[in-house]
Structure 1
């Protein structure tokens, strides 16, 4: 996965395993309703690449 930011070269966004994302959410008291498959993982990485 690559992140594109204006004015900077492409850089790789490291992939975070699904289990690590779930632990991160639990640690910060985030609950996701209708957590199906890898939807949360996809959205997590999409947000991570934007910021």
Structure 2
């Protein structure tokens, strides 16, 4: 499966998908414990653009 940066795969994602909001600098939390893991830097998507995969740097 190929993976792409959201900005490269869908350049207008802020306007078209998130009402102008930037989602690339949100904090990442563990789903079971709600513990803050790290700040997220990039959003990645699969080749079909159907799944968002977060990358913490």
- Calculate the TM-score normalised by the size of structure 1: 0.29
Which structure carries more relative contact order (alpha carbon 8 Å, separation 6+)?
A: 1
Between Structure 1 and Structure 2, which shows a larger proportion of strand residues? 2
Greater C-alpha Rg: 1
Between Structure 1 and Structure 2, which shows a larger proportion of helix residues? 1
- Calculate the TM-score normalised by the size of structure 2: 0.28
